[in-house]
Structure 1
Amino acid sequence: MGFRGALGDLLPPAVGVALSPVPIIAVVVMLMAPAARTAPVFALGWLFGLLAATAIIVIVADPAGADTDSGTTWTAVVKISLGVLFLLMAAKQWRSRPRDGAEPQMPGWMAAVDRMAPAKAFGLGALLSGLNPKNLALAVAAALAIAQAGLTTGGGIAAVLIFVILGSLTVAGPVLAALLFRDRVRPSLLAAKDWLIANNATVMFVVLLILGTVMLGKGIARL
């Protein structure tokens, strides 16, 4: 498949990781705190967690023959399973969406995220990126794409880094923008946070529905 083919297959899971409303909301809340010291640490934790999860899965998947003809069937089964999983998660998001007039529910830890110690912020970022079920499944999809491409060691490392960078743009991007243009981007970040809080379930439903359809189609095509 080659490096270009791998990059094409990496884009959907990378976008799926990037479109994670709760971490984006969390990092914006951290940035709006007077000191805003925890936001960069949270972003670093996010990068570390996603990198570690993807690298481990690539190491496991590569020796398993994902880039050979014999690996076609099992990789197809994994992709179909991931597609079904995403569709089930989409259905759950749709059922749990706030009804008309109801206030969207955020995780309990969000209330104290702007006062979180740096070490906890790093751990939270790593947990949300590397151990979140959606992101973990997407890391599996990315790792399979990299393993199937039959890349060199250097090419594999580059592909993993590209996936991690793309998947981290919506978390690390606001931090970088706030550090460079704090007063200018503040209104936009606040507006984005409010919109994501109000539309979290809908955004996740659409993202998971698209990912499920794409993964299911790719899996069926490989059978």
Structure 2
Amino acid sequence: MGSAIGDVLPLAVGIAISPIPIIAAILMLLSPKARGTSVGFLIGWVLGIVVAVVVFTLLSALIPKSDPDASRPIAGIIQIILGLLLLFLAFRQWQSRPHDDAEPALPSWMGAIDSMTAGRGLGLGFLLAAVNPKNLLLAAGAGLAIGAAGLSAGSATVVIVVFTVIAALSVAIPVIAYLVAAERMRAPLQSLRGWLVRNNATVMAVLLLVLGVVLVGKGIGSF
């Protein structure tokens, strides 16, 4: 179980430090319906992560089992493909970074956050976690690692819980901190939002590059 946790931790961190959901959570915390929408968003974010990693863990069971000491070419090929896709996304993110003093472009749906309800916040959190291509690739890598580890149901559940907690921390921390001390958190949240908006593409490009190389390396090591 320890090796499986070690395999999924970098992928969980990859989901956690994705700037777009953090920016969305911060915008909700600065909106008129801050408490309801932010809590709904956090619940949806956690549910989306759980659903994605559980689905890919179950799908990994379809890969033929082999001797633990033998090579695993099918799992290796899948890891290489996932790694290459992450490297492609890293290249796209790097190309999309703002140049000079250009204002970074944000998704148009962020403009509707002020009027969101808790239910819509939950739906948005779920979509960003479970449908976003970057998160899907990272969840697929985690599910493959969990499934390939040959764990019992209990051990696999523990690994999934650890993965989910780490992946959800970046959204959970500002939401919980705001609920505890709303007024004191406004200025830090504004500053954090500005930094994330300016550096979104660069952060994601570097992150996806590192994770893509890691997955390709693990895939090559499976042969």
**TM > 0.5:** yes
Q: Which runs of 5+ in 2 are unaligned?
A: none
Matched, 1:21 2:19: yes
Q: 1:158 to 1:67 in 2, by over 3 A?
A: farther
Moved more, 33-42 or 122-131: 33-42
Deviation at 1:67, TM superposition (A): 6.4
Work out whether residues 26 and 174 of structure 2, in 8 Å CA contact, stay in contact via their aligned partners in 1: yes
Map of 1:129 onto structure 2: 129
Q: Does 1:49 align with 2:37?
A: no
Letter in 1 for 2:158: A
| Letter aligned with residue 146 of structure 1 | I
Q: Name the residue aligned to 1:143.
A: 143
CA distance in 1, matches of 2:67, 2:130: 28
> Which aligned runs of 4 or more in structure 1 are off by greater than 3 angstroms?
65-71
1:9 aligns with one of 2, 7, 10: 7
Q: Distance in 2 between matches of 1:4 and 1:67?
A: 20
Q: Call closer, same or farther: CA 1:67–1:28 in 2, change over 3 Å.
A: farther
The Cα of 1:66 is off from its aligned counterpart by 5.3
Distance 1:65 1:51 in 2: 24
Q: Please list the CA deviations of residues 104-158 of structure 1 after superposition, one character each: whole Å capped at 9, or x if unmatched.
A: 0000000111221222111111000001111001111111111121111111111
Deviation at 1:33, TM superposition (A): 1.6
Determine what percentage of the aligned residue pairs are the same residue: 43
Q: Is the 8 A contact 1:64 1:71 kept in 2?
A: no
Q: Which amino acid aligns with 1:49?
A: G
Instruction: For residues 55-80 of structure 1, give each alpha carbon's deviation from its aligned partner in whole angstroms, at most 9, with x where no partner exists.
Output: 11111212433564577111100111
User: Greater shift after overlay, 93-102 or 123-132?
Assistant: 93-102
User: CA shift at 1:184, angstroms?
Assistant: 2.5
| Secondary structure in 2 matching 1:64 | coil
Superposition pairs of residues 53-64 of structure 1, within 5 angstroms: 53-64=52-63
Aligned CA distance change for structure 1 residues 143 and 74 (closer, same or farther; 3 Å): same
1:77-103 CA-to-partner distances (Å, cap 9, x unmatched) read: 011111111111111111111111211
Structure 2 CA distance, aligned partners of 1:114 and 1:66?
50
Contact 2:63 2:74 in 1 (8 A): no
Residue identity matched to 1:186: R
Return the offset for 1:43.
Answer: 0.7
Q: Is the 8 A contact 1:23 1:128 kept in 2?
A: yes
Q: How many equivalent pairs are there?
A: 221
Q: 1:34 and 1:66, CA in 2 relative to 1: closer, same or farther beyond 3 A?
A: farther
